[in-house]
Amino acid sequence: MKENLKELTGKSYYEAVEKLVDILYQKYGDLRGPEADTEVLSVARGGLVPATYVVYRLGCPINFMYLRSYPKPGMQKQVEAYSILPFRSKKLPRRIIVVDDIQDTGRSFEFLRDFFKENFNIVDDSRVEIVYAVVVWRKREGIEAPDFYGSDTESKDWVVFPYDWQID
């Protein structure tokens, strides 16, 4: 599997995060104030750092959802939600920008779509726009592309982030 590793250095990771943030800023601009009606939903753990950059640049509030699907590198299981912080009010914002480190199989985003549909009655083309932004998009046949991404790679590549540690 060694030949399929794509290791992101701290510099290349930061550059991909900055590119993603710039793309989001060009699309949405400054989102400070209640009229923007936008919140970021960080998918913890991998989405915490890029989401922090997004909220500082765009100026919108942040929420967190801890999802886990990889108990060990290369071993994916069903996506599970461990903790969810509530949105600022009972009324959802008009736009939710979901930020994660990677779109690999698309299962996290599918889980979130189902979560919003079941818990908030949000469906596609609903009153709330949900966009998916990732640092790295791992291109795969039949997997829907994220709305925004900072970098991409081939499906055969296993992406190693600067913060990943080998787990035996």
- The better pLDDT of the pair 84, 142 is held by 142
Q: Compute the average pLDDT of residues 109-134.
A: 81
Report domain extents, the chain: 40-160
User: Beta partners for 161?
Assistant: none
CATH top-level class of 40-160:
alpha beta
Whether 89 has a pLDDT exceeding 70, the answer reads no
Is the pLDDT at 59 greater than 90? The verdict is: yes
pLDDT at residue 76 tops 90: no
SS3 138: strand
**How large is the average pLDDT for residues 142-157?**
86
Tokens of 91: 């009324």
Can you tell me the mean pLDDT for 126-135?
A: 87
Structure token digits, residue 165: 């540690």
pTM of the model: 0.84
Could you tell me if 82 and 68 are in contact, meaning their C-beta atoms sit under 8 angstroms apart? yes
Sign, CA dihedral 120-126-129-135, equals positive
- In whole angstroms, give the CA distance from residue 79 to residue 72: 13
Element at 55 (helix H, strand E): helix 48-58
Residues 44-68 have a mean pLDDT of 91
- Mean of the per-residue pLDDT values of the chain: 83
Q: Please state the three-class secondary structure of 69-118 as a single string.
A: CCCECCECCCCEEEEECCCCCCCCCCEEEEEEEEECCCHHHHHHHHHHHH
